[in-house]
Amino acid sequence: MRRAALYISYFGVTEALVESQVLTYLGELVRRDIEIHLLTFERIPPTAEDEKQIANRLLERGIHWHWRRYHQRPSLPATAYDVLVGSVAALRICRQYDIQLVHARSHDPASISITTSRTAPIPCASRN
């Protein structure tokens, strides 16, 4: 049986925390035969060439990468906007790739995953 999950990170894919913790964790899930999709929020949007390189590097590890731009200011409206855009993106990813589980850590990605899981409906695993 095919299993697919979406992991949502409010950090960019090149940030140290994502590299050291998130990708390691997702790599273990890939080894357990789970199709992984990663949605990140990038503070500095990658160039087309960087996007291609990052996507290929992650795909070699079995991780399908999707990203949206991170908005910083003004803080509360920017975060609300990111949650809205992230929810739409996550829902699209879930429907397109038949995702069975949405996972997130921390408040903002958890808001996205909960919104997505209630809309889709898809089970949600969120930790703060």
Number of separate domains in the chain? 1
The CATH number for 66's domain is 3.40.50.620
- Ranges of residues in the chain with a pLDDT under 70 are 123-128
pLDDT on residue 127: 56
pLDDT on residue 1: 72
pLDDT on residue 106: 87
Which residue bears the tokens 């070699």? 60
pLDDT on residue 8: 96
pLDDT on residue 20: 93
pLDDT on residue 2: 80
pLDDT on residue 117: 81
Q: Which of 52, 89, 96 is nearest to 69 (CA)?
A: 89
Domain encompassing residue 69: 3-127
